[in-house]
Amino acid sequence: MQTLLSVMNSNKPAEKLNLACDLTDRYQRIREYFPKVAGAELSTEWRGGRVEAMRRLATVNGDNYGKTRNFLEGDVTRLSPYLRHGCITLKEAFESVRARFGKRAEKLLFEFAWRDYWHQVWYLKGDAILSDMEPAKVALGRGALPEDIKNAQTGLPCMDGFINDLLDTGYVHNHARMWFAAYAVHWRKVDWRAAADWYYAHLLDGDKASNSLSWQWVACTFGSKPYFFNKENLAKYSNESYCKSCTAKCPFDNTYEVLSEELFDSTNTPPAKTYKIAPLAKVETMQGVNTIVLVHDEMLSPAHPLLRRMDKKIFVFDPALHGDWALHRLQFVADCLIEMEDVEVWFGDTRQVLNQLGAGQVITQATPNPTIHVLLGAYKVDYLAEEPLTDIKLTSSDLRRFSKYWQKMGPAILNP
Ligand SMILES: Cc1cc2nc3c(=O)[nH]c(=O)nc-3n(C[C@H](O)[C@H](O)[C@H](O)COP(=O)(O)OP(=O)(O)OC[C@H]3O[C@@H](n4cnc5c(N)ncnc54)[C@H](O)[C@@H]3O)c2cc1C
């Protein structure tokens, strides 16, 4: 896929962008600014920004969620791209759902907590989340992602359907993500990281922590056993929508016992694998005198407290951060930015932009993203802490497994 990274020319100065208010013009401009970025246009059911996030939050059905969330047609919130980009905070979503549904929405509060859990693990472990967190409990394949998967041509209507959802809209239901990840890692023996990187690139909610750690949970490099499924499970929760007319030889049509025998070898388990992380290109930084508010991609809300500051505020489409994002995600982010009137939008290396603006001090929201820390390494930086879900202090031992995290956080979340 052509990406932002491949169109960046490091000798060119950073460029200030002008996003149009009109939606059609805005998407056209994103295509013009980033002509080589591949992927589908943002589909009409997705619009970035806080207004849309609040609309979705208001229509959440906390009563039905628990009973139906595992079904592809279930009452899920579709809030993930908005939470991921900070259009609304997780705390806001929690409080709104808790106030309206109380304990009836326990399952939804529990699922929100998964996002917080992965985020906290990222704070703790940094880039280590991009490598095996633990040795796998069964032998894993380390193959590249095959072309038939990238092109939705596996010949399995269910998997091709899930891949097309990803490529066309950037949104995939949680259960479909689990089925697809298990298919790629356990049936096709693809290296989890190769699959996860490709997946991340196309998701509207792509998040290094939720994505990498979910893939690792499926693969069992961060969990006690591998996740897999059978045809009965997929047929039930997809209301047979794929199975009914499927003529393929179904690789999932068996009991869990037989599939487990076929798929897993627990006698020949590999040591944990560490993946190399490419260092950022060197950019000379100059110390200026100006204070700049850097709006990064987890804080795209006009209600963000840092936007009240009088200092110059900027957002940078930076290949080091957004270099692998597909077109629909850049358009989603452009929607978010158009609501943030005061924020200048740039394209280039963040350090280059800060140099051009004479930055000495940078103020931004705290983030677990190590790339942002490296980009800002040469500046004096004030990180505004994220609003925590509760006052509870978590230790590294609480973060070893979600069950431990929930044991400590659950009671405070459910009975504030
Ligand atoms: C292989 C794989 C990759 C994933 N990659 C991402 C990703 O890059 N970004 C991402 O936000 N989520 C990811 N998830 C988690 C989950 O699938 C999505 O958050 C969820 O499907 C989003 O849809 P929704 O908003 O309708 O979720 P709902 O079911 O309505 O849940 C409400 C919110 O809770 C949070 N949430 C729910 N389940 C999870 C979960 N298991 N892990 C983390 N947060 C959760 C999300 O913020 C979600 O918006 C991944 C899961 C798997 C199995």
Atom of ligand 1 nearest to the CA of 81: 11
- Is 95 a residue whose pLDDT tops 60? yes
The side-by-side arrangement of strands in the sheet containing 359-365 is 15-17, 343-347, 312-317, 290-294, 359-365, 380-384
C-beta 166 within 6 A of ligand 1: no
**Distance between CA 351 and CA 14 in Å, rounded?**
9
* Ligand 1 centroid – CA 174 distance (Å): 6
Q: What is the mean pLDDT of residues 134-142?
A: 96
- Is 1 a residue whose pLDDT tops 90? no
Nearest CA residue ID for atom 29, ligand 1: 76
**Distance between CA 267 and CA 273 in Å, rounded?**
17
Report field, pTM of the whole predicted structure over 0.75: yes
**Distance between CA 273 and CA 294 in Å, rounded?**
34
**Distance between CA 370 and CA 129 in Å, rounded?**
11
Best residue among 57, 61, 70, 80 to mutate for probing ligand 1's pocket (most ligand atoms within 8 Å of CB) is: 80
Q: What is the mean pLDDT of residues 9-18?
A: 79
Residue 13's pLDDT is 85
Name the residue ranges covered by the structural domains of the chain.
Answer: 1-126+280-416, 132-263
**Distance between CA 280 and CA 267 in Å, rounded?**
39
C-beta 127 within 6 A of ligand 1: no
Residue 6's pLDDT is 52
* Ligand 1 centroid – CA 74 distance (Å): 14
pLDDT tens per residue, range 245-299: 999 999 999 999 999 999 999 998 989 999 999 999 999 988 899 999 999 999 9
- Is 4 a residue whose pLDDT tops 90? no
Q: What is the mean pLDDT of residues 141-152?
A: 97
Average pLDDT value for the chain: 95
Phi, psi of 340 (to 5 degrees): -105, 80
Tell me the fold of 132-263.
Answer: DNA Cyclobutane Dipyrimidine Photolyase, subunit A; domain 3 (1.10.579)
**Distance between CA 62 and CA 326 in Å, rounded?**
32
Are 346 and 17 spatial neighbours (Cβ–Cβ below 8 Å)? yes
C-beta 111 within 6 A of ligand 1: yes
- Is 2 a residue whose pLDDT tops 70? no
Q: What is the mean pLDDT of residues 185-200?
A: 98
CA dist 245 to 5, 153, 229, 356, Å?
41, 17, 20, 59
Give the whole-number percent of the chain exceeding pLDDT 90. Answer: 94
- Is 183 a residue whose pLDDT tops 90? yes
Is 82 known as a binding-site position? Answer: no
C-beta 177 within 6 A of ligand 1: yes
Is 80 known as a binding-site position? Answer: yes
- Quickly state the pLDDT bin for 12 (edges 50, 70, 90): confident
